[in-house]
Amino acid sequence: MEFVTKIDKEKLEKLLSEYHALDKELIVRIAEARGHGDLRENSDYHA
C-alpha cells in the first residue's frame, strides 16, 4: 500500500485541474475546426 503526502496530493490535484482546463480548451478548438468544414481537410483539426 502506498501513501500520498499532503504535498503530493496538492501537486496531483493541481495537475488534474490543469488537465481539465486543457480538455475544455481542446473541446473549443475542435468545435472551431468543425466550423471550418470537413475535418479531413482541416489543418486546425490535425494540429
Cα separations in angstroms, 1 against 4, 9, 24: 10, 16, 34
String of DSSP letters for 9-47: HHHHHHHHHHHHHHHHHHHHHHHHHHHTS-GGG-HHHH-
0.75 exceeded by pTM: no
Q: Which residue has the cell 495537475?
A: 15
Residue 34: the pLDDT is 82
Residue-wise pLDDT for 1-47, tens only, equals: 789 999 999 999 999 999 999 999 999 988 888 887 766 665 655 55
Residue-wise pLDDT for 30-40, tens only, equals: 888 888 776 66
H or E stretch at 3: none
